[in-house]
Structure 1
């Protein structure tokens, strides 16, 4: 379907597939097993790396770091480093990230409605 280069979608795809581009863009920036949960966890307040790691106890440090970096690169979260010893790092949602929260809420409600019924 879509060819994604290091800078996102190729212009040819965007121009030829305007009808599906929005869905493909959203899927691309949120591809990753934990990104939805990270955004959900940040929806009410900023969190430290250790809080996110404790909440997602089953994720490796490398995977968590990678997913946080990708969310930051895509403009969904902020990473703030405080000049303390040891350094303190907090993550929070950006405006773009907050605008995505209603999608997360819809996913949560859908899962609550149908998740247990399928098992």
Structure 2
């Protein structure tokens, strides 16, 4: 999840496309290998970091942390820290994150159909 330098042509192109095309803006918010998976796991309710990590054994702790931070900054995920010993941190979808669920359901349905079509051509 490298940062795009603000002086790069790629950054400028992304800014222009984000401002001119709402679909691209939305795709950039949920893009990345793990963002949609995190949304799907949080769809059923709050989870602690360790619970998310167990459900996604192939993600590193660092990558999960980076994605959760990005999702929090984009207001898709809410992070709640409880003043307990040991500290407890829970993640949940925000209202905006919850509004993604019907879209992700449609994406899942489309993906299943497309996968079946491509497998029959092979």
Bin for the TM-score computed over the shorter chain: 0.7 to 0.9
When the two structures are superposed, what TM-score results if normalisation uses the length of structure 1?
Answer: 0.82
Specify the alignment match of 1:30 in structure 2: 30
Mapped to 2, the partners of 1:77 and 1:114 lie a distance apart of 29
* Structure 1 segment 5-16 matched on structure 2, within 5 A: 9=15, 14=19
Mapped to 2, the partners of 1:13 and 1:73 lie a distance apart of 16
Residue 44 (structure 1) shift: 1.4
Mapped to 2, the partners of 1:30 and 1:39 lie a distance apart of 9
Mapped to 1, the partners of 2:18 and 2:76 lie a distance apart of 23
Residue 117 (structure 1) shift: 4.3
* Structure 1 segment 58-77 matched on structure 2, within 5 A: 58-77=58-77
Q: Tell me, yes or no, if structure 1 residue 39 matches structure 2 residue 39.
A: yes
Gaps of 5+ in 1: none
When the two structures are superposed, what TM-score results if normalisation uses the length of structure 2?
Answer: 0.80
Deviation larger for 104-113 or 29-38: 104-113
Gaps of 5+ in 2: 1-8
Specify the alignment match of 2:5 in structure 1: none
Mapped to 2, the partners of 1:29 and 1:13 lie a distance apart of 10
Residue 109 (structure 1) shift: 1.4
